[in-house]
Amino acid sequence: MTAETLTLGKAMNAGLRKAMEKDPKVLVMGEDVGKLGGVFRVTDGLQKDFGEERVIDTPLAESGIIGTAIGLALRGYRPVCEIQFDGFVFPAADQIITQLAKMRMRSLGAVSLPVVIRIPCGGGIGAVEHHSESPEAYFTHTAGLRVVACSNPVDAFSMIQQSIASPDPVVFFEPKRRYWERADVDVDGTDWTPLHDAKVVRAGEHVTVLAYGPSVKTCLEAAEAAAGEGRSIEVIDLRSLNPLDIGTVVESVERTGRCVVVHEAPVFGGFGAELAARITERCFYRLEAPVLRVGGFSTPYPPSRVEDQYLPDLDRILDAVDRTFAW
């Protein structure tokens, strides 16, 4: 094992590098991914080492990026596209939803489109509008796409490589406010948790808290705080939203009988609604309280000086936990 202490951003970089070394068909493309190394430096140094043919600074056009990635994939390449910020994926929505997601089925399985779309997501960095969104539900709602969200450097390193290896298109969410979180990453290892498996990241007995991406850390902090008050929270990092590892979730909720779902996206029509419904279907007789959801409000993402009120924080998570016990 070669453990290196890496930030999440650097772990992404290391994972991309491994994938590019392993397979010459892997390309990186997007706005400012070349010389600049991306606005978060995730692709730092890749163009220098792999050349402009494989690390492509594209024209400023998201539909163009995804549309041409589809063409490159048709020609045997494995493009890894960077969308600079969550709020800028929408110009590419048509290519993703009407084309990328459906090509395999339309071709009766003849066509594979191994395209990865990396999207830094979520708020909490004091940014202006369109730079703090959580658009995952638009994509989990689109059959034909795989949707994953990493929460820490170890998963960032492995999941990006697994996503690139996937024969299906993968929308890959990166928790932008966690880019600077550090962990020891085994940069030679390949003995990874399967891409679509959830992970129990903290074992507990009294209540299950489900999260993904940037919210995982907040939930772990909440669990720590609750432990001080004698309440044992189990935290599951879903990692994969579509497909969803419902088995791991059900196993946990059957034990705890209570569940709180946390995400930054608005609660209404959000991914948590799917979780709540599914858990209710599978665990109905074991539930001591309804599945509660903590997330963004039914409003546009607010200006940054008030975003801390919008984002689920420790207090709001623990408040929901309390409410499941008060039921």
Partner 1 sequence: MTIDSVRGAPGTPGVAEPELIQLLTPEGERVEHPDYPLDLSAEEIKALYRDLVIVRKIDLEAVALTRQGELGIWASLLGQEAAQIGSGRALGAHDMVFPTYREHAVAWCRNVEPLKLLGLFRGVNHGGWDPAEHGFHLYTIVIGSQTLHATGYAMGVQRDGVLGTPSAGATIAYFGDGATSQGDVNEAFVFASVFNAPIVFFCQNNQWAISEPLERQSRIPLYKRAQGYGFPGLRVDGNDVFACLAVTRKALENARTGQGPTLVEAYTYRMGAHTTTDDPTRYRLKAEEEAWKLKDPIERVKAYLVRNDLADAGFFEGVEDEAKGLAKELRAACLALPDPRPLSIFEHVYAEPHPLMTEEQEQFAAYLASFEDEGVAS
Ligand X SMILES: Cc1ncc(C[n+]2csc(CCOP(=O)(O)OP(=O)(O)O)c2C)c(N)n1
Give me the residues that bind ligand X (CB under 6 A), please: 31, 60, 62, 84, 88, 91
Q: Among residues 29 and 154, whose Cβ is nearest to partner 1?
A: 29
Q: Residue 198's Cα: distance from chain center in Å?
A: 12
In the list ligand X, partner 1, none, the entry touching 53 (Cβ below 5 to 8 angstroms by class) is partner 1
Q: Which of 26, 31, 50, 161 binds partner 1 (CB under 8 A)?
A: 31
Three-class secondary structure of residue 281 per DSSP: helix
Partner whose binding site includes residue 129, from partner 1, ligand X, none (CB under 5 to 8 Å by kind): partner 1
Maximum separation of any 2 CA atoms in the chain, in Å: 59
* Residues 42-61 within binding reach of partner 1 (CB under 8 A): 51-53, 57-61
Cβ proximity to ligand X, 3 vs 61, nearer residue: 61
Q: Any contact of residue 127 with partner 1 (CB under 8 A)?
A: yes
The reply to whether 162 sits near partner 1 by the rule CB under 8 A is no
Q: What's the min distance (Å) between Cβ of 35 and partner 1?
A: 4
Q: Which is nearer to ligand X, 60 or 227 (CB)?
A: 60
**CB of residue 269 to partner 1, shortest distance in Å:** 10
193 binds partner 1 (CB under 8 A): no
305 binds partner 1 (CB under 8 A): yes
Going by C-beta distance under 8 Å and a sequence separation of 6 or more, which residues neighbour residue 91?
A: 61, 62, 63
Alpha helices in the chain (DSSP H): 8-22, 46-50, 62-74, 93-94, 103-106, 136-140, 153-165, 215-228, 246-256, 271-283, 307-310, 314-326
Beta carbon of residue 282, minimum distance to partner 1 (angstroms, whole number):
27
Give exposure, 281-319, as e/b (b: 16+ Cβ within 10 Å). ebbeeebeeebbbbbbeeeebbebeebeebbbbeebbbe
Classified as helix, coil or strand, 91 is helix
Question: Given the DSSP bridges, would you call strands 199-202 and 233-237 parallel, antiparallel or unpaired?
Answer: antiparallel
Size of the site for partner 1 (CB under 8 A): 43
Neighbours of 58 (CB within 10 A): 18
Choosing from 4, 23, 25, 39, the residue that interacts with partner 1 (CB under 8 A) is 39
> In the complex, what is the shortest distance from the CB of residue 91 to partner 1, in angstroms, rounded to a whole number?
7
Verify binding: residue 325, partner 1, rule CB under 8 A: no
Q: State yes or no: residue 299 binds partner 1 (CB under 8 A).
A: yes
Q: Which does 325 bind (CB under 5 to 8 A by kind): ligand X, partner 1, none?
A: none
Q: Which residues are catalytic?
A: 131
- Is 128 a binder of partner 1 (CB under 8 A)? yes
In the complex, what is the shortest distance from the CB of residue 113 to ligand X, in angstroms, rounded to a whole number? 22
Helix (H, G, I), strand (E, B) or coil at 95: helix
The residue nearest ligand X at its CB is: 88
| Cα gap 262→234, rounded to integer Å | 13
**DSSP letters for 144-187:** T-EEEE--SHHHHHHHHHHHHH-SS-EEEEEEGGGTT-EEEEET
Nearest distance from C-beta of residue 294 to partner 1, angstroms: 11
Cα–Cα nearest to 241, from 159, 160, 136: 136
Determine if 304 is a binding residue for partner 1 (CB under 8 A): yes
- Burial-class residue 114 by CB neighbours within 10 Å (0-12, 13-18, 19+): buried
Which residues of this chain interact with partner 1, rule CB under 8 A?
31-32, 34-37, 39, 51-53, 57-61, 63-64, 87-88, 90-91, 126-130, 267-268, 297-300, 302-307, 309-310, 315-316, 319
